Structure 1
Amino acid sequence: MLLFRLADLHSQTLAVKNDLLTGALSSPNLSVEVKLSDRFTLEAGFHYNPFPAGGDKRWKHWFVQPELRYWMCQPFGGHFFGAHLMYGVYNAGDMKLPLGLFKGVRSSRYEGDFLGLGVSYGYHFILSPRWSIETSLGVGFLHIGYERYRCLHCGEQTGGGYKNFIAPTRAAVSLVYLIN
Structure 2
Amino acid sequence: MMKHIYIFVLAMMMLATSGTATAQDVALKTNLLGWATTSLNAGVEIGTAEKQTVQLFATINPWKFSGDKKVRFWNVEPEYRWWTCQRFGGSFFGLHALAGEYNIKNVDLPFGTLPKTKRGRHYEGWYIGAGVTYGYQWLMSRHWNMEASLGVGYAYSPYKLYGRCARCLDKNHRNYVGPTKAALSMIYIF
TM-score using structure 2 length: 0.86
1:58 alignment partner AA: K
Contact 2:114 2:174 in 1 (8 A): no
SS across alignment from 2:151: strand
SS across alignment from 1:173: strand
Contact 2:51 2:86 in 1 (8 A): yes
Determine the structure 2 residue equivalent to 1:11. Answer: 22
Q: CA deviation at 1:49?
A: 0.5
Q: CA deviation at 1:145?
A: 1.0
SS across alignment from 1:73: coil
Determine the structure 1 residue equivalent to 2:140. Answer: 127
Determine the structure 1 residue equivalent to 2:150. Answer: 137
Determine the structure 1 residue equivalent to 2:77. Answer: 65
Q: CA deviation at 1:106?
A: 4.8
CA separation in 1, counterparts of 2:176 and 2:115?
15
Q: CA deviation at 1:139?
A: 0.2
What whole-Å deviation, never above 9, does each CA across 1:11-63 have from its counterpart, x for those lacking one? 26100000000111010100000000001100000000001132200100001
Contact 1:63 1:87 in 2 (8 A): yes
Contact 1:96 1:106 in 2 (8 A): no
> Where in structure 2 are the equivalents of 1:1-180 lying within 5 Å?
9-11=20-22, 13-107=25-119, 108-151=121-164, 154-179=165-190
Residues 106, 123 of structure 1: alpha-carbon distance in 2 compared, 3 angstrom cutoff: farther
CA separation in 1, counterparts of 2:143 and 2:149?
19
CA separation in 2, counterparts of 1:98 and 1:37?
37
TM-score using structure 1 length: 0.91
1:101 alignment partner AA: T
Q: Structure 1 stretches (4+) deviating beyond 4 angstroms?
A: none
Contact 1:15 1:176 in 2 (8 A): yes
SS across alignment from 1:55: coil
CA separation in 2, counterparts of 1:158 and 1:10?
51
SS across alignment from 1:80: strand
Root-mean-square deviation (CA, aligned residues, Å) is 1.6
CA separation in 2, counterparts of 1:96 and 1:68?
31
Instruction: Provide structure 1 residue ranges, at least 5 long, that are not aligned to the other structure.
Output: 1-5
What whole-Å deviation, never above 9, does each CA across 1:130-163 have from its counterpart, x for those lacking one? 0010000000001011000013xx3111011111
1:133 alignment partner AA: M
Residues 26, 106 of structure 1: alpha-carbon distance in 2 compared, 3 angstrom cutoff: farther
CA separation in 2, counterparts of 1:28 and 1:106?
28
1:146 alignment partner AA: Y
Instruction: Provide structure 2 residue ranges, at least 5 long, that are not aligned to the other structure.
Output: 1-16
**Matched residue count:** 172
Report percent identity of matched pairs: 37
Contact 2:134 2:150 in 1 (8 A): yes
